[in-house]
């Protein structure tokens, strides 16, 4: 429903308090959630020991993704509560769950201490975090939007949009400070727990802030008029007129927004550390600096969407990102690890193997063994960030690895005893490592060769895309649904998009890289999803900036 309500100039002290309180509490909650992602490599060693490094890291990423997978269920549970009892108390509960779960991670014994119980408890805590976050975002965005004057919802809610990036920024800063204070060796052993334990203080501040807030005026008005929904889940998802909007919001907005968001921040960080072998402290500083530089653009694009519309900015960000990801990530390799780029060009690697013995090396349970000569060769090359092409060989052929003019024979571990397999693995690993080094493939990025200015510029561009798709989207989602079912309706597509399409991006992308042998192959996942969102959004999603958010029909 359109409205001609005039735009009011300025911002009242009460509105400023609403924005600050909602944003600050949400910053802390995102900080809690992203500590895990920032420390995925260390957590892999602490809680998923007993598997090979590739499997441990993929397993750690999947545990990270577990928090995202359950987010839509949190959206359903807490969204329903938010539409029944109010916005304020619902997202007060979510932050308590989040903060307590994060604090316990800091106390949790590792795999060496309590065995399999360690990763099980960790995943349970990640699930609790995901459920809480599923109820958090919709509450904060709805709360702020329902306090905003007409014509300024994009500007007001864009402050909520900065909180995810600022939470990540805060987590990176505290991790960096702790690393510097205790040293890398001590940080890997026990210092990584400190950022998790600090969250108990952030929890206290957040609870105090949210206790002082008033209920949303739109909800108060609706409750006074007796128009609250008695069954928000049924209204939102069992009636086609609302369900179709939920589906369009997912496919035509949040799926593309999510993959652009996670590519620009998390995948960029994983790419720097795992693929380009940039040391963790340097990568964190570069990502943190790019976030700091780009964060004001959340508000800029949110405010711009009040004037020109939400849709062109969000869909434009999806399209530009999809078109430029390959050249940007290729340039990251050029500027962050030029030795790796030079080795790839001068000494191409070819794996020749029986294709029937080569598996898709995606191991979510950590129990699958890759014992064929093909799998062993590809697994070690992927771990070393070595690009390779594939050549089919006759059945029964033992896989070979050709690096430049050097040819190495892999080995088949099937039927070997544990001792025999370990001996062959040691010999092959040394032989392959020596050959890789001899042909110029670096084991880590040389700090003296990193072009820090250009690397930072490229990371800034990636986060700028994030601000385009993310800055206006809270206002747009709020405006798509009526007040009586708004919390429930907007939360589900947002968290399916970000929880499933976005949260599974790092795991999916890395598995694709290991499958194909191309360090850039994982980018096809966000590119395809972003293009689907662009097409669906362009054809079927309506502009919302002039909608009346107080309408209940």
Q: 441 or 24: whose pLDDT is higher? A: 441
SS3 of 199, please?
helix
Share of the chain above pLDDT 70, in %: 85
Tokens of 489: 């309706």
Q: Please give the average per-residue pLDDT across 359-384, as a whole number.
A: 73
Nearest to 246, CA basis, from 86, 81, 477: 477
For residue 408, what is the enclosing H or E element? strand 406-409
Nearest to 172, CA basis, from 41, 35, 305: 35
Calculated CA dihedral for residues 257, 302, 292, 187, nearest 10 degrees: -50
Least confident of 100-114, 205-219, 357-371: 357-371
Topology agreement, domain 13-337+447-540 and domain 347-438 = no
Least confident of 235-239, 322-326, 346-350: 235-239
CB of 481 within 8 A of CB of 242?
yes
Span 176-202, pLDDT tens digits = 889 889 988 898 889 989 998 988 887
Q: What's phi and psi for 411, nearest 5 deg? A: -145, 155
Q: Report the alpha-carbon distance of residue 313 to residue 316 in Å, rounded.
A: 5
User: Among 37-41, 232-236, 405-409, which range has the highest average pLDDT?
Assistant: 405-409
Nearest to 26, CA basis, from 99, 121, 124: 99
pLDDT of 238 reads 67
pLDDT of 9 reads 47
pLDDT of 300 reads 95
pLDDT of 422 reads 85
pLDDT of 86 reads 64
The yes-or-no verdict on residue 136 having pLDDT over 80 is no
The number of angstroms, rounded, from the C-alpha of 103 to the middle of its chain's C-alpha atoms is 21
- Compute the Cα dihedral for 290, 292, 293, 295 and give only its sign: positive
pLDDT of 306 reads 93
Burial 527-548 (b: 16+ CB within 10 A, else e): bebbbbbbebbeeebeebbebe
The CB density around residue 262, as the number of other CB atoms within 10 Å, is 24
Burial 43-62 (b: 16+ CB within 10 A, else e): bbbbbbeebbebbbbbbbbb
Q: Report the alpha-carbon distance of residue 68 to residue 131 in Å, rounded.
A: 8
Domain positions in the chain: 13-337+447-540, 347-438
Residue 4 CB contacts under 8 Å (≥ 6 apart), including other chains: none
Across the chain, what does the average pLDDT equal? 82
pLDDT of 87 reads 66
Q: Report the alpha-carbon distance of residue 475 to residue 144 in Å, rounded.
A: 9
The CATH number given to 13-337+447-540 is 1.20.1250.20
Angle between helices 240-249 and 486-496 (to 10 degrees): 40
List the Cα angle 460/250/364 in 5-degree steps: 75
pLDDT of 332 reads 96
pLDDT of 53 reads 65
Q: Report the alpha-carbon distance of residue 91 to residue 25 in Å, rounded.
A: 10
Q: Please give the average per-residue pLDDT across 229-243, as a whole number.
A: 68
Q: Please give the average per-residue pLDDT across 306-335, as a whole number.
A: 96
The yes-or-no verdict on residue 462 having pLDDT over 90 is yes
Read off the pLDDT band of 254 (50, 70, 90). Answer: very high
The yes-or-no verdict on residue 251 having pLDDT over 60 is yes
pLDDT of 322 reads 97
Q: Output the CA–CA distances (angstroms, integers) from residue 243 to 58, 217, 240, 448, in the order listed.
A: 35, 26, 5, 55
pLDDT of 5 reads 41
Read off the pLDDT band of 2 (50, 70, 90). Answer: very low
pLDDT of 243 reads 85
Q: Output the CA–CA distances (angstroms, integers) from residue 416 to 267, 361, 432, 486, in the order listed.
A: 37, 21, 20, 60
pLDDT of 553 reads 47
Q: Report the alpha-carbon distance of residue 146 to residue 19 in Å, rounded.
A: 11
Read off the pLDDT band of 14 (50, 70, 90). Answer: low
Residue 492 CB contacts under 8 Å (≥ 6 apart), including other chains: 72, 75, 76, 79, 236, 237, 246, 250
CB of 491 within 8 A of CB of 138?
yes
Least confident of 94-103, 323-332, 360-369: 360-369
The yes-or-no verdict on residue 428 having pLDDT over 60 is yes
Q: 437 or 532: whose pLDDT is higher? A: 532
pLDDT of 27 reads 76
Tokens of 467: 């601000």
Q: Report the alpha-carbon distance of residue 432 to residue 373 in Å, rounded.
A: 13
pTM, to two decimals: 0.80
Q: What's phi and psi for 6, nearest 5 deg? A: -70, 155
Span 532-553, pLDDT tens digits = 999 999 999 999 888 877 654 4
pLDDT of 149 reads 79
Read off the pLDDT band of 265 (50, 70, 90). Answer: confident
Read off the pLDDT band of 68 (50, 70, 90). Answer: confident
pLDDT of 64 reads 67
Q: Please give the average per-residue pLDDT across 89-116, as a whole number.
A: 83
> According to the 3-state scheme, what is the secondary structure of 124-169?
HHHHHHHHHHHHHHHHHHHHHHHHCCCCCHHHHHHHHHHHHHHHHH
Residue 545 CB contacts under 8 Å (≥ 6 apart), including other chains: 153, 154, 305, 306, 309, 310, 475, 476, 479
Tokens of 470: 């993310």
The CB density around residue 234, as the number of other CB atoms within 10 Å, is 14
Q: Report the alpha-carbon distance of residue 512 to residue 258 in Å, rounded.
A: 19
pLDDT of 55 reads 62
The CATH number given to 347-438 is 3.40.30
Span 466-508, pLDDT tens digits = 999 998 998 898 888 877 777 777 777 887 887 778 877 877 8
The yes-or-no verdict on residue 135 having pLDDT over 80 is no
């Amino acid at each position: 429903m359109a409205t001609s309500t005039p735009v009011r100039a300025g911002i009242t002290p009460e509105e400023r308090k609403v924005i600050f309180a909602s944003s600050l509490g949400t910053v802390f909650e995102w900080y809690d959630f992203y500590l895990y992602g920032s420390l995925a490599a260390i957590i892999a060693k602490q809680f998923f020991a007993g598997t090979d490094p590739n499997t441990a890291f993929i397993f750690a990423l999947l545990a990270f993704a577990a928090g995202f997978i359950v987010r839509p269920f949190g959206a359903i549970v807490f969204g329903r509560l938010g539409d029944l009892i109010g916005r304020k108390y619902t997202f007060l509960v979510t932050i308590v769950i989040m903060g307590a779960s994060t604090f316990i991670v800091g106390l949790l014994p590792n795999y060496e201490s309590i065995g399999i119980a360690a990763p099980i408890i960790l995943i349970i805590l990640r699930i609790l975090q995901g459920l809480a976050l599923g109820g958090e975002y919709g509450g904060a965005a709805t709360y702020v939007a329902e306090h905003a004057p007409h014509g300024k919802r994009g500007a007001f809610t864009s402050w909520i949009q900065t909180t995810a990036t600022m939470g990540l920024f805060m987590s990176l800063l505290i991790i960096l400070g702790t690393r510097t204070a205790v040293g890398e060796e001590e940080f890997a052993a026990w210092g990584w727990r400190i950022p998790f334990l600090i969250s108990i203080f952030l929890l206290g501040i957040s609870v105090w802030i949210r206790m002082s807030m008033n209920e949303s005026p739109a909800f108060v008005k609706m409750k006074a008029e007796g128009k609250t929904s008695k069954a928000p889940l049924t209204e939102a998802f069992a009636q086609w007129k609302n369900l179709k909007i939920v589906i369009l919001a997912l496919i035509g907005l949040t799926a593309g927004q999510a993959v652009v968001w996670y590519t620009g921040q998390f995948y960029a960080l994983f790419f720097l550390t795992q693929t380009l072998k940039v040391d963790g402290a340097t990568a964190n500083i570069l990502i943190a600096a790019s976030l700091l530089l780009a964060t004001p653009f959340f508000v800029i694009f949110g405010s711009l969407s009040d004037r020109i519309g939400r849709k062109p900015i969000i869909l434009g960000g999806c399209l530009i990102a999809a078109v430029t990801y390959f050249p940007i990530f290729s340039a990251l390799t050029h500027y962050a690890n030029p030795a790796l780029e030079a080795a790839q060009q001068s000494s191409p690697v070819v794996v020749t193997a029986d294709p029937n013995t080569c598996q898709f090396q995606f191991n979510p349970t950590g129990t699958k063994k890759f014992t064929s000569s093909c799998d062993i060769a590809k697994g070690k090359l992927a771990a070393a960030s070595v690009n390779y092409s594939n050549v089919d060989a006759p059945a029964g052929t033992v896989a070979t690895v050709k690096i430049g003019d050097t040819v190495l024979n892999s080995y088949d571990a099937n039927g070997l005893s544990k001792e025999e397999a370990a001996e062959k693995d040691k010999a092959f690993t040394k032989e392959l490592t020596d050959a890789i080094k001899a042909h110029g493939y670096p084991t880590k990025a040389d700090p003296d060769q990193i072009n820090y200015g250009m690397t930072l510029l490229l990371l800034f561009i990636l986060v700028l895309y994030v601000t385009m798709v993310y800055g206006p989207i809270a206002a747009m989602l709020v405006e798509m649904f009526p007040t009586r079912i708004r919390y429930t309706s907007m939360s589900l597509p947002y968290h399916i998009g970000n929880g499933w399409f976005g949260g599974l991006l790092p795991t999916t992308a890395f598995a694709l890289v290991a499958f194909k042998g191309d360090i850039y192959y994982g980018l096809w996942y966000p590119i395809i999803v972003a293009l689907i969102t662009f097409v669906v959004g362009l054809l079927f999603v309506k502009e919302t900036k002039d909608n009346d958010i107080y309408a209940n029909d």
